[in-house]
Amino acid sequence: MIGLISATAAGAAARDRLAAAWPDRTRVYDGPVGDAVRRAFAECEQLVCFLATGAVVRLIAPLLADKASDPGVVCVDEGGRFAVSLVGGHGGGANELAREVGELLGAEPVVTTATDAVGVPGLDTLGLPVEGAVAAVSRALLDGEAVALHNESGWPLPPLPVTPEGPYGIRVTDRLVELSEQEVVLRPPSLVVGVGASKGAPAEEVWELIEGSLSEAGLSPKSVAELATVDAKAEEPGIVAAAGRLGVPLVTHSAEELAAVEVPNPSDAPLAAVGTPSVAEAAALVRGGELLVPKQKSAATPAMATCAVVRRPARGRLAVVGLGPGARDLLTPRAKAELQRASVLVGLDQYVDQIRDLLRPGTRVLESGLGAEEERARTAVEEARRGQAVALIGSGDAGVYAMASPALAEASDDIDVIGVPGVTAALAAAAILGAPLGHDHVSVSLSDLHTPWEVIERRVRAAAEADIVVTFYNPRSRGRDWQLPKALAILAEHREPATPVGVVRNASRPDESARLTTLAALDPATVDMMTVVTVGNTATRDIAGRMVTPRGYRWQEGAR
């Protein structure tokens, strides 16, 4: 929850804009400012104070305890010109919150965290637990000193200004290691702990077994990604409590699935109790990996818990990212985060140019021109298979006439694939036109480069007969000038000449243009590949110059 505090009418107006925009994320704190800040500090994960930074510093100074647990605080000035990340830039999320507040209020985000200022990833922003000399190594990165990276696990990381050797070090490992005063260790989520327990097994017995097994094997509990067990133990209190103490999910598998896993230490006892000869080892191994700790029993007599530990191999990461229609403010925060997380970016050269300024220094960029979609998809998958963190970009939504399909056709289950949705051209155009997609609608590409025209025509005819609003992508190019007239003629067989048609070129970009015409009046020669054409159905109307398709048809009956 984000606490909102203001002291003046101007501050309250800006505060209320945030509250209206984020009703589920924010809580307004009224009353004397000092009391409001204290209450919000104790109750919220983040604060936005519409106050002078000096005033906020004095108010929160007695409340600060630990950067790992203090809320992030952002200050917005009276004029609404700046959103200042005051404390908790990384741990409290204040840096990102300042950017979000800035976008919403039209304020300039002010982020003074050193790593953010120069584009170097903060060690505490990499998504992995970090231990050791964080300040010293971060300072070395900022000063350009030699920092060696020893990635024992092969875990995919964002680009870091590191070298093979140096006086400072970053180690990526799940092992317990001795660190020098010039080293940090990043803990990858590489370990799976399989757990079995008798009914009513004490929580402390389960926990001590897990903690002791990890310690004896020289493994860090901060690298445990999940606890795994059989479905029948999904609500066993001792196991649930152990997952809670580790702060990881409890993942369960069916007895049939576990029984199919080959294990070194099967037993008749779990077979009789839950239907599988192994719970701990099988649950840990069910998705593959290296068995580091074979089945261990708890020390109690009789033993009521068992556990085993598996290390899963590091997997490359492929994020398929939709950039939206082109406007920077329609690029989603999740897309921005994935672009900054990537060590390798793959994309069409003109799309790379759109977001090049968002990439971290050191990001390897693999760009190519039009017509190389399959090559880009193969390249992205190959880089992910080498253990890289890869972002493959496409315009609009990457899954709509873009790069997700060829990439997933190349990918197998040996890499992690993350889809990042984006605003499509059809949606951007619809927002400009009014509400043409208010009822059932379909998008059809008129490009026959990959799809035979006979198939395209059959789809257009089906949409026409079904009275569905149609948005045409790739409607016309120099070499394809007859497909759009043919498609419009098919629609005209089922719709009136006055049916509204919206034409939007370069939606959301500086040279955007839009017009509302009719099925009879549209001149296909005015359309090109940068244009989206939306043809209404029999209920679509031109209302005050806006294209509107009602959600239902009944309310239109009286207006006809």
- pLDDT tens digits, 25-71: 888 988 888 888 888 888 988 999 998 888 889 888 888 887 778 88
* Per-residue model confidence as pLDDT tens digits over 358-373: 888 889 999 998 878 8
Collapse the DSSP code of 544 into the 3-class scheme (helix H, G, I; strand E, B; otherwise coil) and give the result: coil
Cα separation of 186 and 188, whole Å? 6
Report residue 283: phi and psi, to 5°.
Answer: -65, -35
pLDDT confidence band for 556 (50 / 70 / 90) = low
Half-sphere exposure of 234 (CA within 13 A, CB side): 7
Segment (H or E) for 206: helix 203-216
* Per-residue model confidence as pLDDT tens digits over 270-291: 888 888 999 999 999 999 999 9
C-alpha closest to that of 105 among 224, 16, 200, 232? 16
pLDDT confidence band for 182 (50 / 70 / 90) = very high
Average pLDDT value over all residues in the chain: 90
C-alpha closest to that of 224 among 239, 208, 211, 236? 211
In the prediction, which pLDDT does 322 show?
A: 95
In the prediction, which pLDDT does 188 show?
A: 93
Written as one letter, the residue type at 546 is R
Task: Give the lowest-confidence range in 153-157, 262-266, 491-495, 531-535.
Answer: 153-157
Q: Is the pLDDT of residue 521 over 90?
A: yes
Cα separation of 464 and 492, whole Å? 8
In the prediction, which pLDDT does 242 show?
A: 95
Name the region of 130 (left: φ>0; alpha: ψ -120 to 50; beta: rest): beta
Instruction: Compute the C-alpha angle 231/232/238, nearest 5°.
Output: 100
pLDDT confidence band for 217 (50 / 70 / 90) = very high
Segment (H or E) for 432: helix 425-433
What are 380's two structure tokens?
A: 């992205």
Report residue 308: phi and psi, to 5°.
Answer: -145, 155
Q: Is the pLDDT of residue 117 over 60?
A: no
Whole-angstrom Cα Rg for the chain: 29
Q: Is the pLDDT of residue 11 over 90?
A: no
Segment (H or E) for 340: helix 333-341
Sign of torsion over alpha carbons 162, 417, 419, 172:
negative
C-alpha closest to that of 87 among 62, 114, 60? 60
Q: Is the pLDDT of residue 490 over 50?
A: yes
Written as one letter, the residue type at 357 is D
Model's pTM, two decimal places?
0.73
| Secondary structure, 3-state, 381-414 | HHHHHCCCEEEEEECECCCCCCCHHHHHHHCCCC
Task: Give the lowest-confidence range in 351-365, 455-469, 515-529.
Answer: 351-365
| Other C-beta atoms lying within 10 Å of the C-beta of residue 66 | 7
Report residue 380: phi and psi, to 5°.
Answer: -60, -45
In the prediction, which pLDDT does 41 show?
A: 87
Q: Is the pLDDT of residue 560 over 50?
A: no
Cα separation of 516 and 526, whole Å? 13
Paired sense of beta strands 2-6 and 500-505, if any: unpaired
pLDDT confidence band for 455 (50 / 70 / 90) = very high
Residues 6+ apart with CB under 8 A from 59: 33, 34, 37, 38
Cα separation of 514 and 501, whole Å? 11
What are 308's two structure tokens?
A: 């085993």
Cα separation of 559 and 370, whole Å? 48
Report residue 204: phi and psi, to 5°.
Answer: -65, -35
* Per-residue model confidence as pLDDT tens digits over 416-445: 999 999 999 999 999 999 999 999 999 999
Cα separation of 503 and 470, whole Å? 12
